Structure 1
Amino acid sequence: MTGETDRREAAEHLALTLVGAGMQRMGARALAAFLFSEKETLTAGDLAQELGVSAGSVSGAVRMVAQMGLIERIHVAGSRREHFRMRDNAWTTLYSRQHSVVDEVLRAVENGVGAVGPGRAHDRLEYMRDFYTFLLNEAPMLVERFERQRRGEPRS
């Protein structure tokens, strides 16, 4: 196998893994293309060529990955096409955005705790509430520790 073949197979493997985790297929393939690209930016045309699909078929995928906070649109002087690139802090951005979803779940669970009397349902809902509250309280410290580790700072 060539290096290019290995790269494409690894990208497709990652995309299939993301699909297995619940991501839409074309969004997963687009994300993998960004992750495995050596180019600073990609256009819809670049993605279409890389993935072997029409440019129109990648527009929804690009929109989805951008809404997740993983890629961003940037201006490229002299180009009339939309260019996108991976965010430098894509994963911590994604994690932070997922907190809003967890916040909504937590509010709904708290409502459920108040809606049921003592018993199994109350115990299950209370456990879920306590778990998500714990995660939300711990997450900022984990992200900070991760960023310090990435910068090569000693553990405190």
Structure 2
Amino acid sequence: MSTDDRLAEADDQRLAAETGDRTPRTGDRLAGIDGPLAERGGEAAGGGLAGRKEASALGMAGRDEEAVSRFVERFAGELAQAGMQRMAARVFAALLVSDGAALTAAELGERLRISPAAVSGAVRYLTQVNMIGRERDPGSRRERYVLHEGMWYEIFTRRDEILNRWQKTLLEGAATLGPGTAAGVRLSETAEFFQFLNEGLLQLMERWRERKSLGSPPPS
């Protein structure tokens, strides 16, 4: 079991002890609808300005927080199945549904009902893979974790660099093995596939830039 999984399990057990339920509800863990957060009106830890602004934005949006909670856990599960660390996936999903696309560590801990250590590990991972950034509130030492603007574009653009490196390495391997060997042919075909994939990806990225520049409507 990974460190993130152990932290997640410990947080689930702690929440179960607090609520008297062996199986924490999704809504409890994310939005605290039936727990301490409900009593505090959704304010962030410490009642800071950023937390109040975020709570106000959520209230103005008139969203169904229980439904939002279910979405966060569902999307986090999809990301985890794709290979992302479970706790990092939950933190990323929580930031994604935040109107300001930015939350403090305390706010993340309260929304997801996880420990400071779990938040720290998750944001460290997300920062290392450039999925989120850090910023400070003016006049404050408190950090906020923010989603990068155009993050999906940046993530897939970086795949271009990765595919190029893989293609180069595979071609070198094919040359080492020899073009007449079965393994050499296999590596050459794999390199050709990555080249094809990379060319298609670059074309898609260009089409995306054009689409956004034209102000195309979002999908229905």
Amino acid aligned to 1:72: G
CA distance in 1, matches of 2:109, 2:215: 40
Q: TM-score, normalised by structure 2?
A: 0.64
Please tell me whether the aligned partners of residues 68 and 94 of structure 1 are also in contact (alpha carbons under 8 angstroms): no
- The answer to whether structure 1 residue 81 and structure 2 residue 135 are counterparts is no
Structure 2: state its 5+ residue gaps: 1-26, 28-62
Between 1:114-123 and 1:48-57, the stretch displaced more is: 114-123
Q: TM-score, normalization: structure 1?
A: 0.88
Counterpart position of 1:147: 209
Measure how far apart 1:7 and its partner are: 0.3
> Percent of aligned positions with the same letter in both sequences?
32
1:58 aligns with 2:110: no
User: Whole-Å Cα distance in 1 between the matches of residues 92 and 114 of structure 2?
Assistant: 15
Partner of 2:161: 100
Q: Larger C-alpha radius of gyration, 1 or 2? A: 2
Shift in Å at residue 153 of structure 1?
Answer: 6.0
Cα RMSD over matched residues? 2.0
Alignment partner of 1:84: what SS?
strand
Q: Does 1:31 align with 2:92?
A: yes
Q: Which residue type is aligned with residue 124 of structure 1?
A: R
**What is the aligned length?**
154
State the match for 2:78 in structure 1.
17
Higher relative contact order (CA 8 A, sep 6+): 2
Find the aligned partners of 1:49 and 1:92 in 2 and give their Cα distance: 30
* Higher mean displacement: 17-26 or 143-152: 143-152
Segments of 5+ residues of structure 1 without an aligned counterpart are none
Of 148, 172, 186, which aligns to 1:124?
186
Q: 1:100 to 1:149 in 2, by over 3 A?
A: same
What residue in structure 1 maps to residue 102 of structure 2? 41
